[in-house]
């Protein structure tokens, strides 16, 4: 019979007593098993160092090494029995190691603690995710470069406030996202460089009296150096926050591109056609082709932002050094990493597969008096008019065209002279959208030659 008095505070959710409740809140094996490979790598490096330092025998170190490889094989093969009673991946691996090799397994933990062990495992895992994120970003950049190169001279409307502003090229618009993603890549690279110090050997918080060689384990695990302060080493989760911060900014860029793809693929815009692979239909409206992949990317970004906020709040009030609160660092980081990698892969697929509708882009490029700035610039260059005066003259001509239901190039020379007598026939040479984009030759501008130069630069950079 269940002892109802033992768990009445918890209502009907738990049918067992406090021991089961504590196990449920305390165990992390349900999610930190994802760090198994990193945990075993850290243990192998630690065992090799202990043997070289003369702290354990070579025979014990070899038994530990072989046993850990067996454990890793079982985990990768799906035959490993994870136990919640053993709390976490570290204790699960060590318990199984003892079953395999016996007494030498107990020597593995000499000179370290679960505090520095988990910090090392988690840092190795995050470092792997950074490498994966950089690869995903570069793949998406290459897909955007292909679009930019193909449409370097295709005209489309550029927007501010989602209102037609000036004509730009399709290639220029694609390259804007390449630049955003390049900054994302840089942020991940910076985070990787900053985090690449090994916590292993910091032990519980104060270091150890054993003559360990932390530089040896740091080198074996690909770190640049061991961390310089044992208190900081076990209490630091800045590396995860750096990852989540970089992921959040990258997510913003993915969400902005998703939003544009949703708008551009609509019947009202028809700027792009997304492939069937990244679209869905409607259960009731047979004409629909929904940009669901873009919408889901746009939504998943909230999970990444949420993870960043959650870990910030977990860490904000913790005294040094380790507190159990820090066990809550992993689930949200794992989820954010999964969401980011899925979003990057889906966006790469959409960009590679999508078709820009050149005719629709060009038809829209000339709408909304998009060459008004070109007219104002011509007045400044050709007539030496102050720009503010040119702005006023152009605004008057736009109002005239709007009242007649036509665009600026459709006004006659006489119409234009009625606003300013010195305007000549030459003005019509700047009013076409192709002339407009071709004239934007300043570095970083939308002129096709500038776009092609930037494409070539990035193709060489990415290799």
What distance in Å separates the CA atoms of residue 186 and residue 315, rounded to the nearest whole number? 25
| 186 catalytic per annotation | no
| Helix locations, 265-329, DSSP H | 292-315
Catalytic pick among 161, 283, 412, 442: 161
How many whole angstroms from its chain centre is CA 262?
20
Cα within 13 Å of Cα(293), Cβ side:
23
Copy the structure tokens of residue 331: 């689930």
Catalytic pick among 83, 266, 275, 282: 282
- Angle between helix axes 448-462 and 114-150 (nearest 10 degrees) is 140
What distance in Å separates the CA atoms of residue 250 and residue 259, rounded to the nearest whole number? 14
**Angle at Cα 307 formed by Cα 320 and Cα 257, nearest 5°?**
140
| 282 catalytic per annotation | yes
What is the three-class DSSP state of 174? helix
Nearest to 251 by CA among 211, 213, 297, 207: 297
What distance in Å separates the CA atoms of residue 31 and residue 369, rounded to the nearest whole number? 57
Cα within 13 Å of Cα(167), Cβ side:
32
End-to-end CA gap in the chain: 69
Residues catalogued as catalytic: 161, 282
């Amino acid at each position: 019979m269940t002892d109802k008095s033992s768990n009445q505070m918890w209502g009907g959710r738990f049918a067992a007593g406090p021991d089961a409740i504590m196990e449920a809140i305390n165990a992390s094996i349900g999610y930190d098993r994802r760090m198994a490979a990193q945990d075993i790598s850290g243990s192998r490096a630690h065992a090799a160092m202990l043997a070289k330092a003369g702290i354990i025998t070579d025979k014990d170190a070899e038994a530990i090494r072989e046993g850990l490889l067996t454990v890793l094989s079982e985990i990768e093969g799906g035959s490993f029995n994870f136990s919640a009673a053993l709390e976490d991946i570290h204790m699960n691996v060590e318990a199984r190691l003892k079953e395999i090799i016996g007494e030498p397994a107990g020597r593995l933990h000499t000179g370290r603690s679960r505090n520095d062990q988990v910090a090392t495992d988690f840092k190795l895992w995050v470092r792997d995710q950074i490498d994966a994120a950089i690869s995903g970003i570069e793949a998406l950049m290459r897909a955007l470069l292909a679009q930019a190169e193909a449409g370097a001279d295709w005209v489309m409307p550029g927007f501010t406030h989602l209102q037609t502003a000036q004509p730009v090229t399709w290639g220029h618009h694609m390259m804007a996202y390449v630049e955003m993603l390049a900054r994302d890549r840089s942020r991940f690279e910076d985070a990787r460089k900053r985090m690449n110090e090994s916590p292993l050997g910091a032990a519980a918080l104060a270091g150890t009296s054993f003559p360990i060689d932390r530089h040896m384990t740091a080198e074996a695990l690909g770190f640049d150096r061991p961390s310089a302060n044992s208190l900081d080493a076990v209490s630091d989760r800045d590396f995860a926050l750096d990852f989540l911060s970089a992921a959040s900014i990258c997510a913003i860029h993915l969400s902005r591109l998703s939003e544009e793809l949703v708008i551009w693929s609509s019947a009202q815009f028809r700027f792009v056609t997304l492939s069937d692979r990244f679209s869905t239909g409607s259960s009731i409206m047979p004409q629909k082709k929904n940009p669901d992949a873009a919408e889901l990317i746009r939504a998943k970004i909230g999970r990444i932002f949420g993870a960043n906020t959650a870990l910030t709040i977990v860490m904000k009030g913790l005294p040094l050094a380790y507190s159990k609160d820090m066990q809550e660092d992993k689930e949200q980081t794992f989820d954010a990493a999964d969401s980011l990698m899925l979003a990057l892969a889906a966006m790469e697929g959409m960009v590679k597969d999508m078709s820009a509708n050149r005719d629709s882009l060009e038809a829209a490029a000339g709408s909304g008096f998009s060459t008004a700035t070109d007219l104002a610039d011509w007045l400044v260059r050709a007539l030496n008019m102050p720009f503010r005066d040119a702005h006023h003259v152009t605004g008057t001509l736009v109002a005239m065209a709007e009242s007649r239901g036509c665009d600026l190039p459709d006004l006659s020379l006489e119409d234009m002279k009625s606003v300013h007598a010195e305007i000549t026939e030459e003005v019509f040479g700047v009013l076409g959208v192709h002339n407009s984009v071709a004239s934007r030759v300043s570095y970083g501008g939308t002129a096709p030659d500038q776009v092609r130069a930037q494409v070539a630069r990035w193709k060489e950079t990415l290799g």
